Amino acid sequence: MKLKYETAVATFIQFVTLSFLNMATGLNSVVTTCHKEGQDCISNLIVSIIFWMLVTLWFGFVWLLGYIAQDRRSKRLAQLLIAAEGFIALIAYFNAKHHTDFLSLATSIIDLLLAVWVITLAFRLMRSGGKRITKQRQRHKQ
């Protein structure tokens, strides 16, 4: 399956992947904290749950934005999607530079790659100007 400007599918993949990866990163943080410092176990669990919910809501919003941009083939919504994904890419880059373990590094790299992919698709959607993107054939002069 080759995605040309299907931002809805790409942002859905991003939503599902990063929801699970952020849940795994949060659980890893809670387990590590509970083994080292028993007092902070519950507070870290609460903070991790709140953080996971916020991240999931954010990526849910981005998924909705990607769906609407594709459905309406809107140049403005594609630009807004590019801005949101640019923000995600900056955060992912920062997190990758300051990772604490392999799981958080892998999550950040996957997050960055998915953001770049969605930016590429949204850029193609923006360039299409509301039209379908089709492969143009060049005619040979004889």
How many CB atoms sit inside 10 A of residue 35's CB?
9
Residue range 61-111, pLDDT digits in tens: 999 999 999 999 999 999 999 999 999 999 999 999 999 899 999 999 999
What's the Cα-to-Cα distance from 48 to each of 23, 40, 53, 69, 73, rounded to whole Å? 8, 12, 9, 31, 36
Residue range 126-139, pLDDT digits in tens: 998 766 655 555 55
Overall average pLDDT of the 15-35 stretch: 93
Q: What is the pTM of this model?
A: 0.85
Residue range 39-61, pLDDT digits in tens: 678 888 999 999 999 999 999 99
